């Protein structure tokens, strides 16, 4: 399927690895000009080269290879957002993403921990939407996808910081998305469940801590407990993101697409 977004411009946050990188790859394969952000310049440039190669491979099958720009900076800071928006001031597509807050017991979290979680996983996406959505509406096309978490629908006890911050973003999006869609600007959330990423390994390590189980034993149990019998692959997530950004997805807005292999309402 031609997604109808070749030549569009996308800003993809926190895209040097994992699900953000997968989204950048899938968009670039569709001929989208991608601006990628991440904190580490070296890892980001390596990821950008990976995206360029993917776009070139797509070009061999008929989609023109896309331009890929790497902008190092912390998207959760005003300075980082300014750098990203200077490189891509008028995106047609915005993919918000930021590393999740630390897992643990809520009794151990300070007010500063909560503020940091809300700032990174709720307020940062809102600031980016605020900076870009009016331009999208004027141009008559926009696709905003927030990478959140399956924990929004199936809260995980050790991810309370994430549960709270991302649920706040979900509530905000639910209202705004119904005001922008008449201008062909959609806003949706993609909720990953257990995908094979560094984040999954970190939560497994946290779950294993203080028990007699190894991290691999925790991972094996989670694979077995999932109805799909496996973890998701980042490429599957990236392709779902690309579809939500497509011309064909203009009637989908304010939604929370859960990708978890059927684990909901169970845990993972």
Strand partners, 72: 38
Q: Which two tokens stand for residue 122?
A: 């709720």
Q: Give the per-residue pLDDT at 171.
A: 95
Contacts of residue 49, Cβ cutoff 8 Å, sequence gap at least 6: none
Strand partners, 10: 34, 93
Residue 65 to residue 78: CA distance in whole angstroms: 31
State the SS3 of 186-222.
EEEEEEECCECCHHHHHHHHHHHCCCCCCHHHHHHHH
Low-confidence ranges of the chain (pLDDT < 70): 57-65, 265-268
Q: Give the per-residue pLDDT at 1.
A: 86
Q: Give the per-residue pLDDT at 224.
A: 93
Strand partners, 12: 36, 95
Q: Give the per-residue pLDDT at 199.
A: 79
Q: What is the pTM of this model?
A: 0.91
Q: Give the per-residue pLDDT at 59.
A: 52
Q: Give the per-residue pLDDT at 268.
A: 41
**Cα pseudo-dihedral 7, 10, 15, 16, rounded to 10:** 50
Q: Give the per-residue pLDDT at 103.
A: 80
Q: Where are the alpha helices (DSSP H) in 7-110?
A: 18-29, 41-59, 78-87
What digits encode the pLDDT tens for the residues 209-251?
888 899 999 999 999 999 999 999 999 999 999 999 999 999 9
């Amino acid at each position: 399927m031609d997604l109808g977004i070749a030549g569009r411009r996308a800003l993809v946050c926190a895209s040097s690895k994992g699900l953000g990188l997968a989204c950048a790859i899938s968009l670039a394969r569709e001929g989208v000009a991608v601006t990628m952000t991440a904190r580490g310049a070296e890892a980001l440039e390596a990821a950008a080269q990976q995206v360029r190669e993917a776009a070139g491979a797509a070009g061999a099958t008929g989609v023109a290879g896309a331009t890929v720009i790497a902008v190092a900076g912390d998207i959760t800071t005003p300075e980082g957002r300014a750098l990203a928006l200077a490189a891509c001031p008028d995106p047609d597509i915005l993919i918000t993403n930021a590393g999740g807050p630390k897992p643990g017991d809520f009794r151990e979290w300070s007010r500063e921990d909560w503020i940091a979680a809300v700032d990174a996983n709720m307020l940062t996406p809102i600031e980016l939407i605020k900076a870009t959505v009016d331009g999208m509406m004027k141009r008559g096309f926009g696709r905003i996808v927030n990478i959140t978490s399956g924990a929004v629908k199936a809260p995980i006890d050790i991810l309370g910081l994430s549960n709270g911050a991302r649920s706040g973003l979900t509530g905000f999006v639910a209202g705004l998305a119904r005001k922008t869609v008449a201008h062909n600007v959609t806003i949706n959330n993609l909720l990953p469940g257990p995908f094979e990423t560094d984040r999954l390994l970190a939560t497994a390590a946290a779950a294993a801590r203080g028990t007699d189980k190894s991290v691999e034993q925790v991972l094996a149990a989670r694979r077995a407990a999932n109805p799909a019998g496996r973890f998701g692959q980042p490429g599957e997530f990236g392709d779902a993101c690309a579809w939500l950004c497509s011309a064909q997805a203009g009637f989908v807005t304010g939604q929370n697409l859960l990708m978890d292999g059927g684990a909901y309402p169970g845990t993972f």
